[in-house]
Amino acid sequence: MAACRWLRGTDGHECCHADDIPSNNRLGNLRWGTRSDNLLDAVRNGRKAIGERQWNAKLSDVDIPEIRRLFGEASFVAIGRRYGVSEATIRQIKHGRTWRHIPEASP
């Protein structure tokens, strides 16, 4: 039997393994989903590095709330210099393109 990870539907859906183990083809472990669903499973199961777990991360999970707090007090350039990253990195944090897995601090 072919591994389910190679199956793709004509509608763009693919076979998702709830536990991210391609050889575990038990019916209860499988479902059709999008590529995004599959990537979210990998993040949830710790098989995809995000945030500080990436090999080249310059920021840590604890830096992000402080960076967000500084948005109204300092420029993106100043915040970036303080943390050793570019203005573009700070801008991406501000606009929710990166570090989305760190929840916003409650007021």
For the chain, which residues make up each domain, given as ranges?
4-44, 52-94
Tell me the average pLDDT of the chain: 85
Give the Cβ contact number of residue 9 at 10 Å: 9
Mean pLDDT to the nearest integer, 15-33: 88
- Give residue 8's pLDDT: 63
Q: Give 91's pLDDT tier (boundaries 50, 70, 90).
A: very high
Q: Give 1's pLDDT tier (boundaries 50, 70, 90).
A: very low
Give the Cβ contact number of residue 67 at 10 Å: 22
DSSP-assigned beta bridge partners for residue 32: 15
Mean pLDDT to the nearest integer, 20-43: 86
Give the residue among 58, 56, 71 at the shortest CA–CA distance from 105.
Answer: 71
CA gap 41, 9 in Å, rounded? 19
pLDDT at 24 over 70: yes
